[in-house]
């Protein structure tokens, strides 16, 4: 279903333009028509694709363009990819707040980048490394990638290390271990400090959750 969104693909670029246009209320017909053409070529034709290809673009009202743009994002699975990334941002935000750092995190396609990759940011600045929407294919892998990006923006925001291992006072790193997205510490041999999203739990609660 997500095959059309390979990293760096034209489809991803047009989907990003559609998403941004919908959010800002100024979606033009061009990226909608382009994405519909790519879907047709990839044998992903469906009623909205046919409607777009059969009607002259100049005839479409801005409401119709918006409706068709939303239909294409849904039909290609972009909606689910994006929802997975947004959920991951919320989970990691919980970890940031657990450290007493008051930030509002988000993920977006910044205006200055037309490549189709998203960035995580806090407090209005979106400066994280690039996140391809296709990262949302796997919730666990997405969580690790988002945690890594959030770590980047938070460190820049507070000019300090985050997150920190409660035992060793060393910086943690996001990793995927035995099917779980975790924060790992390099102290005393590598160990897992907590599952990503669980940093706010006390060590007793973490132990309890693990042993369940
Ligand atoms: Zn440690």
* Cα–Cα distance for residue pair 192/49, rounded to 1 Å: 47
Centre of ligand 1 from the C-alpha of residue 76, in Å: 42
What is the structure's pLDDT at 107?
95
Centre of ligand 1 from the C-alpha of residue 99, in Å: 16
Centre of ligand 1 from the C-alpha of residue 70, in Å: 45
What is the structure's pLDDT at 212?
40
Centre of ligand 1 from the C-alpha of residue 18, in Å: 43
Centre of ligand 1 from the C-alpha of residue 205, in Å: 17
Centre of ligand 1 from the C-alpha of residue 203, in Å: 12
Chain centre distance of CA 190: 28
Centre of ligand 1 from the C-alpha of residue 189, in Å: 8
Classify residue 7 by its DSSP letter.
T
Q: Which of 151, 147, 188 is nearest to 169 (CA)?
A: 188
* Cα–Cα distance for residue pair 148/61, rounded to 1 Å: 41
Cα(first)–Cα(last) distance of the chain, in Å?
35
The pLDDT tens digits for 177-207 are: 999 999 999 988 899 999 999 998 866 666 5
Centre of ligand 1 from the C-alpha of residue 93, in Å: 21
CB 72 within 8 A of CB 18: yes
Centre of ligand 1 from the C-alpha of residue 153, in Å: 22
Exposed / middle / buried, residue 197 (Cβ in 10 Å: 0-12, 13-18, 19+): buried
**Average pLDDT in the 150-159 region?**
94
Q: Where are the domains of the chain?
A: 10-76, 80-211
pTM across the whole model: 0.90
Centre of ligand 1 from the C-alpha of residue 207, in Å: 15
Compute the mean pLDDT over every residue in the chain, rounded to the nearest whole number.
91
Distances (CA, A) of 11 to 3, 37, 41, 43, 67: 10, 10, 11, 14, 18
Q: Is the pLDDT of residue 210 over 60?
A: no
The pLDDT tens digits for 105-154 are: 999 999 888 889 999 988 778 889 999 999 999 999 999 999 999 999 99
The pLDDT tens digits for 46-93 are: 999 999 999 998 899 999 999 999 999 999 999 999 999 999 999 999
What is the structure's pLDDT at 99?
94
Q: Is the dihedral of CA 127, 128, 132, 135 positive or negative?
A: negative
What is the structure's pLDDT at 207?
58
Query: How confident is residue 211, by pLDDT bands cut at 50, 70 and 90?
Result: very low
């Amino acid at each position: 279903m997500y095959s059309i969104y390979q990293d760096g693909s034209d489809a991803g670029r047009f989907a990003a333009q559609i998403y941004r246009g919908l959010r800002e209320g100024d979606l033009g017909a061009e990226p909608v028509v382009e994405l519909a053409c790519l879907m047709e070529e990839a044998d992903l034709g469906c009623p909205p694709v046919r409607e777009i290809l059969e009607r002259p673009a100049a005839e479409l009202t801005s409401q119709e363009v918006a409706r068709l743009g939303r239909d294409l994002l849904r039909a290609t699975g972009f909606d689910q990819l994006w929802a997975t990334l947004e959920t991951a941002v919320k989970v990691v935000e919980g970890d940031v707040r657990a450290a007493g750092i008051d930030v509002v995190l988000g993920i977006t396609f910044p205006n200055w980048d037309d490549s189709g990759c998203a960035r995580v940011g806090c407090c209005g600045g979106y400066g994280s490394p690039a996140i391809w929407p296709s990262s949302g294919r796997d919730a666990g892998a997405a969580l690790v990638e988002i945690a890594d990006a959030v770590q980047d923006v938070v460190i820049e925001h507070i000019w300090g290390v985050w997150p920190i291992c409660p035992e060793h006072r060393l910086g943690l790193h996001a990793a995927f271990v035995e099917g779980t997205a975790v924060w790992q510490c390099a102290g005393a041999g590598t160990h897992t400090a907590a599952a990503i999203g669980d940093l706010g739990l006390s060590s007793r609660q973490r132990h309890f959750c693990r042993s369940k």
